[in-house]
Amino acid sequence: MSMSNSEVALKEYLYNHDSHYRELASEHQKYEERLSQLCSLVHPSDEELVEETVIKKKKLYVKDQMETIASKYKASAVGH
């Protein structure tokens, strides 16, 4: 699933101009990095498996928040 140029441009704009969006993007990236570490483990412990599930949920929640910000921005831009 690839993003259109306008979606990429919107995300770049929000990253550069909206501090809350930027914080969420940073948090999302940290979750992505930790998830990558956990997924590369050959024999994860029970605690690591639980952490992986929790991080996936947190990452999805943050992504939803980012999408909400983008949707509100699109709606306000269309309304003007």
Q: Is the pLDDT of residue 23 over 60?
A: yes
What pLDDT shows up at residue 6? 87
**Total count of residues recorded for the chain:** 80
Q: What is the pTM of this model?
A: 0.86
Summarize the confidence of residues 61-69 as an average pLDDT: 98
**Which parts of 5-53 are beta strand (E)?**
none
What pLDDT shows up at residue 3? 74
CA distance readout (Å), 27 to 23, 35, 38, 52, 55: 6, 12, 17, 15, 11
